[in-house]
Amino acid sequence: MAIQAQSVHNQYMGVNLLQIPSLTFNVNYTREFTPTFTSIFELGFTPNYIKAQNIDLVGYLLTPHSKGANEGYDIDVQTGGYIKTGGYVNLRYNLEKTSFFHFGLSICNSVIYESGTSQALIWPTPPIQDVEHTKYIFGLNLAFGYEFTLYRKLRTNIDFQISLPNKKYEDLYGYRNYIPGMGYKDFEGYWFPMLIWNIKYQL
């Protein structure tokens, strides 16, 4: 008995331009299996997010900010990469409709290395200690956005994403945390916000 393979309509290579201010290099591959479903596979790497904090205005504006002492941590390196796999449910019924809303769900596997110093917030003040570690963090990315054509084979989608990491994120130093593929937060909450502006080219 012959099994017919599921047809693929369009395939794209893209980049999230709003990750550039966070000094994150990324590339993604998407393909449309049906008008209502698009898969995504994405890779990214951040050399050191600390150097991007003054220019990542989107990340700065998306998160609440605490005026505390970051639990005594002074971090000078936050570096790592991520692999993201998942898909979008497109709110359309045929491929002729090129502008549409969509919902996204993906799994993000991130590795983050942090180093810096720590000084306990107690009196009398203890000596400053060097700290460093590497953590693997798994999480879910939930997104909602709009996709449309820019010019011929060039398309874009603009999404708002919320990431929910597993409990391993609590091992990160302080509460000013960055997780590759999930974003940055400067408060004691659980969720990580990110704004996506993806430009992609049809293969």
Provide the residue ranges of all domains of the chain, joining segments of one domain with +. Answer: 11-67+79-109+138-166+181-202
pTM over 0.75, yes/no? yes
The CATH classification of domain 11-67+79-109+138-166+181-202, taken from the options 2.40.160, 3.40.190, 3.30.43, 2.60.40: 2.40.160
Cβ neighbours of residue 170 closer than 8 Å, sequence gap 6 or more: none
What the block records as the tokens of 184 is 């940055």
CA distance 149 to 156: 6
Per-residue pLDDT tens listing for the chain (203 residues): 444 445 668 999 999 999 988 889 999 999 999 999 999 999 999 999 988 877 887 877 888 666 666 788 889 999 999 999 999 999 999 988 999 999 999 999 999 999 999 887 777 777 888 999 999 999 999 999 999 999 989 999 999 999 999 999 999 998 889 999 999 888 767 889 999 999 999 99
